[in-house]
Amino acid sequence: MKKIISILCTLGLIGCSAATYGFELDNSDKSLTVGCKSAYMMDSNSGECIYKQNECERLPIASMCKVMTLTLVLDAVDSGKLSLDDTVTVSDNASGMGGSQVFLASGCKYQVDQLIKSIVVCSANDSCVALSETIAGSEDSFVDAMNKKANELGCNDTLFANCTGLPKSTQYSCAKDVAVMFRNLLKYENYFDYSKIWLEDFIHPDNRVTSMTNTNKLLKKYKLCDGGKTGFTNEAGFCFTATAKKDNMRLISAVLGADSSDHRFASTVNMFNYGFNNFRNKTILDKDVVLNDEFAVSGGKKQSFAVCPEKSCYVFIEKDKEPEIFYNVIANQAKAPIAKGQSVGTIEIYKNGILYETVNAVAAEDVAKANFGDNFKNISDKWAI
């Protein structure tokens, strides 16, 4: 028999402030002006849209296509196909890439970790091609995988023709798709090991040194920003996708076709300020706090045990609104032994009557299997009653 517990969560609204410098957060501003051809902003946790402007218009995105390049590279690392300590032998093709680069030497071996860093920090085209050839055998095969992944993410207004973003008439995306792809990239936590680097030297095997400076200027101008990818060509204009975090809310933005580098960064800051001023994530469940009700267990040294959510859960809300939020805890039949952290049910979170998120309920403690003496005692206790 499944046990269902319904709990109504009362929402308390709090103010939002941010420690920023360079671009200051204006807590009184509830309007938003974005000076670019296309823009999109979402809450990273829920994927809910906060702002959109011509968000599905197909436009060139220049080096922002490296968001997908990095996704496939970090996925290869995550799956074990590639190790950060592996070395890559650079081909003539890779070393001959134009545009932004770290000037890889043909025939030389470079560590995967170095190449990833050069892509994130200074948008190195030669490193992109070197890694694409290593992972897929050729850049063309890698691009096929990029398009396949875009389709899996529902990015229907995206088509890649290379892994660098160098101009090609058959390559395009849109602000919404870029934000969706960047959100997916951020699930790889080691991305942030690279994205926060401002200045670093790239050391070549022949002891040459290429200085790398992060193209994301908001790292120095907007303290909440901890990741992003720029793009520029004459065809694309100035583009930028970025992320910023305040307390438990992470926002993701994308702007395409700004007329200057300053305008793309200012537009992004305006979007983030608007998001932090007017929205927040309400904590519904804390993974470190046990639920009020215990689950029954059969065959154990004890008859019930404490449970907690597998992860902390938040609901994205407007600050001046109070939606009805509740959750149902659904207990599976539990039989000892049970290990702490073991999944024992689910928790369904609802916002205004609509299912918002489902998370596992896990045991907050171990429950050992009962022995003969425990069973005899349980029977004796029942007779005594």
Could you tell me which of 22, 1, 15, 38 has the C-alpha nearest to residue 236? 38
pTM of the model: 0.86
Number of domains in the chain: 2
CATH number for the domain spanning 337: value is 2.60.410.10
pLDDT of residue 6: 34
pLDDT of residue 35: 83
CA distance 149 to 321: 37
Same domain, 266 and 292: no
CA distance 359 to 338: 19
Which residue type, as a one-letter code, is found at position 167? P
Same domain, 229 and 300: no
Could you tell me which of 164, 212, 181, 193 has the C-alpha nearest to residue 84? 193
Angle at 260 (CA atoms; ends 257, 262), nearest 5 degrees: 120
Say whether 349 sits in a helix, a strand or coil: strand
> Which of these three, 259, 281, 303, is where a domain ends?
281
**Structure token digits, residue 159:** 């088509």
| Residue 180 located in a structural domain | yes
Same domain, 312 and 264: no
pLDDT of residue 31: 63
CA distance 174 to 184: 16
> Which of these three, 219, 250, 281, is where a domain ends?
281
pLDDT of residue 374: 58
pLDDT of residue 217: 97
Say whether 53 sits in a helix, a strand or coil: strand
Active site amino acids:
63, 66, 123
Indicate the DSSP class of residue 63.
Answer: G
CA distance 190 to 206: 28
Same domain, 248 and 325: no
Same domain, 247 and 363: no
Q: Tens-digit pLDDT profile for the chain (385 aa)?
A: 343 333 333 322 222 333 333 344 444 445 687 889 999 999 999 999 999 999 999 999 999 999 999 999 999 999 999 999 999 999 999 999 989 999 999 999 999 999 999 999 999 999 999 999 999 999 999 999 999 999 999 999 999 999 999 999 899 999 999 999 999 999 999 999 999 999 999 999 999 999 999 999 999 999 999 999 999 999 999 999 999 999 999 999 999 999 999 999 999 999 999 999 999 999 999 999 999 989 999 999 999 999 999 999 999 999 988 899 999 999 999 999 999 999 999 999 999 999 999 999 999 999 999 885 555 555 555 555 5
| Residue 20 located in a structural domain | no
> Which of these three, 248, 281, 314, is where a domain ends?
281
| Residue 19 located in a structural domain | no
| Residue 23 located in a structural domain | no
Same domain, 82 and 69: yes
Same domain, 353 and 223: no
Distances in Å between the alpha carbon of 309 and those of 251, 263, 329, 342?
Answer: 24, 43, 10, 11
| Residue 120 located in a structural domain | yes
Q: In what order do the strands lie in the sheet with 225-233?
A: 49-53, 38-43, 249-258, 237-246, 225-233
- Tell me which residue range forms the domain holding 145: 38-281
Same domain, 134 and 235: yes
Number of H helices, E strands in the chain: 10, 18
CA distance 183 to 176: 11
pLDDT of residue 30: 53
